[in-house]
Structure 1
Amino acid sequence: MASGSRSDSTGEVIDLARRRPMQAAYVLRHSLVGGNPKGFFEFTPEIASLTQVKLGRDMLSADEIAALPARPKMMVEARFGGTTGIPAVFGFLSRLQFISPRIRDVLEDLEPGVHRFLPIDLRSTVEIAGQTEHGEHYILLPPPLVDCVVIAETDFSKGYGIEGWMRGNNGKGGGTLSSTEGKRCTLLRNEIEGRHLWRTRVGDRFEYTCSDRFWETVKDEVMIWAPRTRCILK
C-alpha cells in the first residue's frame, strides 16, 4: 500500500493527506496573469445585469437561483490576456467568477457538497486555443462567509491590531486587511479547519481565502487567483 494511505477497520483506504491539519491559509488577490475577457460576455437566454451583480454578491434567494436559465450559453467576445487558452478561473473577485471543470472537481473532492456551481456552455466569438466552443464551465457562487480574523494579531489597512481595526471604523471605511507584503494575518483555526475555499469576513467586507492544500493543488493553473497574504492559524 502507498505510504500516503492506510486502511481503517472496515478496510476503506483513507488518504492521510486529506487528514493533515491546515498549516496556513492564503488571502487571494486578483492576478493579471489569469486575465479577463478583453471585451464582454453575454448570456443566452439573457441574465439581466442586476441579477448578475446580485448573483456575484450572494444576494439572490435559493428560489431566485433555481429560476435562472439552466446551462445558459455564455459568449466571450474576445481573447483573454496573459494566456492562449481559457483560464481555469476568470472573472472578478467581487462579482461573477467562472471556473473550469477541473477546479470544480478539486473543490468537490476537498469539500463535498459545500460549494455551489451553475453550469454554463462557454463559447467565444474568436478562436481560443483553436476552437470557439469550450464546453461546460461553471459559475462559482460565493463560498461560505466565515468570521475568523484574530483582530488583535492582524495588520489592517489603517494599522495593526485593535487600534488599526478601530481606525478603520471596525472594518468599514477602508479597514480591510493590509495588502502590504509581509504584514501579519492571523485566523482562528477552529473556525476554518476542514475548509478549503471561503470568504473571510472583515467588518462589512470580505476577502477570498483558501487553505494551503487547495493552493498547492491548483497553483500551476492559469487563473485570476493568486496568494496575497499568508495567514498563520491560532
Structure 2
Amino acid sequence: MKVMVAVKRVVDYAVKIRVKPDKTGVETKNVKMSMNPFCEIAVEEALRIRESGLATEVVAVTVGPPQFVETLRTGLAMGVDRGILVECGEGGGGLGPLGVAKVLRALVELEKPGLLILGKQAIDDDCNQTGQMVAGLLKWPQGTFASKVVLDKEKQTATVDREVDGGIETVCLNLPAVITTDLRLNQPRYATLPNIMKAKSKPIKKYTPEDLKVEVRSDSEVIQVVEPPKRKAGVMIRSVDELIDKLQNEARVI
C-alpha cells in the first residue's frame, strides 16, 4: 500500500507575525519558514505505518511556488521516499482549501494511494477544511482529528480514535480513506544528518495545475489584514467592593 501525505509551508511557529505595511497580508520575506506542525505529525504517522510493514511507500505532496521544495526536503529527510510539488504562484496561487483539495484529488487519482493523511489544519489560516473537502471530492471515508490510528491489512480497514467535544469517538473506515491528524497522535522525529544527506538525492516530481487538468482560481478575496487590537493594561483591585464597582460601572457586565 502507498501512503500519500499532504504538507504545507508556513511561517515558523516561533516567529512573531508582522503585517505588511500595505495591509495586503503577512510579511514572509526574510522570515523563517517551516513545515506546518500538524503536517509533521501526518508525516510521522505515515512513516510509522511504513515501518510497521503495512505500507511500502510514503509520498509527500505540496502545492505552492518553487521554494516549497524546501518543505518537501524536510519530509524526505524525515524518511519520506519521494516528493511531488504542484507549482502555483506565491502562497499557492491564492488557492483556498477547496482549490488545494481539487489538486490533491487529481494527485490521488494519478498516484492511487491506499491512504491520504493530512494535518487537521495549518497554523497560518487555521481553516481546518482541506481534509474534509478532499474526502468529499474523492467520496472516501474520513477520520478527522485523529489521536490514534490502527490499520488492519487483512480487512483493509483503519480504526481511528478522534477527539470530539465529549471525549473520544472511535470510527472504523474502509480503505482507501482520508485521515487528518491531531496533536496527540504522535511526536514527530528529528531528521538525522545521514537522512538529510540522503534527502538531497531523493526524487521530487513537479507538476503544474494544467498538467493535472485542474483549474486554479481563488473563491475568496482578502480585503485587508490588520493586527488584533492591543489589550488594555490591567489594574490592581484592593477589595471585593472595588471589584464589584468596576464591573458594574466601568465594564458594565453586572
**Fold shared by both chains (TM-score > 0.5):** no
Normalised to the residue count of structure 1, the TM-score between the two structures is: 0.24
Q: Please tell me whether Structure 1 or Structure 2 has the larger radius of gyration of its CA atoms.
A: 2
Q: Between Structure 1 and Structure 2, which shows a larger proportion of strand residues?
A: 1
Normalised to the residue count of structure 2, the TM-score between the two structures is: 0.23
